[in-house]
C-alpha cells in the first residue's frame, strides 16, 4: 500500500462514478439532470477532499492509508446508492 496506488484508486473509483452518472444522464431521460449534476458535484467534492487527505503527513502511514481506503469505498458506495435511488424513483 503506497501513496501512488491510493491516488490511482481515488482517480479510478470516482472517475468510474462520474462516467456512470454521465451514462445515466444520457440514456435515461426520466432521471432529472439536476439530480445527476448534484451527485457529480458531490463526487468532485469527495475527490478533492480525499486528495487533500492523501497528502496529510502522518506517523502511522499504514493504518492511516488503510482507513483512507475504507473511506473511499464507503463514501463512493453511498454515492452509488443515491444514484441508484434516483434511477429507481424515475422509473416508477
Q: How confident is the model at residue 92 (pLDDT cuts 50, 70, 90)?
A: confident
* Nearest-angstrom CA–CA distance, 60 and 64: 6
* Closest C-alpha to 43, from 24, 64, 61, 65: 24
Residue 28 is given by DSSP the state -
pLDDT at 2 over 90: no
The predicted structure's pLDDT at residue 90: 87
Q: Output the nine-digit C-alpha cell for 19.
A: 462516467
pLDDT, tens digit (0-9, with 9 covering 90-100), for 32-82: 889 999 999 999 999 999 999 999 999 999 999 999 999 999 999 999 999
Given the C-alpha cell 496506488, which residue does it identify?
5
Nine cell digits for residue 40: 457529480
11-15, 25-29, 75-79: range with lowest mean pLDDT: 25-29
Residue with cell string 479510478: 12
Q: CA 90, 24, 21, 8 torsion: positive or negative?
A: positive
Amino acid at each position: 500500500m503506497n501513496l501512488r496506488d491510493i491516488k490511482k484508486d481515488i482517480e479510478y473509483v470516482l472517475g468510474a462514478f462520474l462516467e456512470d452518472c454521465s451514462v445515466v444522464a444520457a440514456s435515461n431521460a426520466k432521471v432529472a439532470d439536476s439530480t445527476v449534476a448534484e451527485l457529480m458535484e458531490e463526487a468532485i467534492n469527495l475527490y478533492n477532499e480525499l486528495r487533500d487527505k492523501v497528502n496529510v503527513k502522518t506517523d502511522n502511514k499504514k493504518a492511516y492509508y488503510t482507513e483512507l481506503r475504507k473511506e473511499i469505498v464507503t463514501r463512493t458506495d453511498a454515492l452509488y446508492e443515491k444514484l441508484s435511488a434516483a434511477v429507481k424513483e424515475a422509473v416508477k
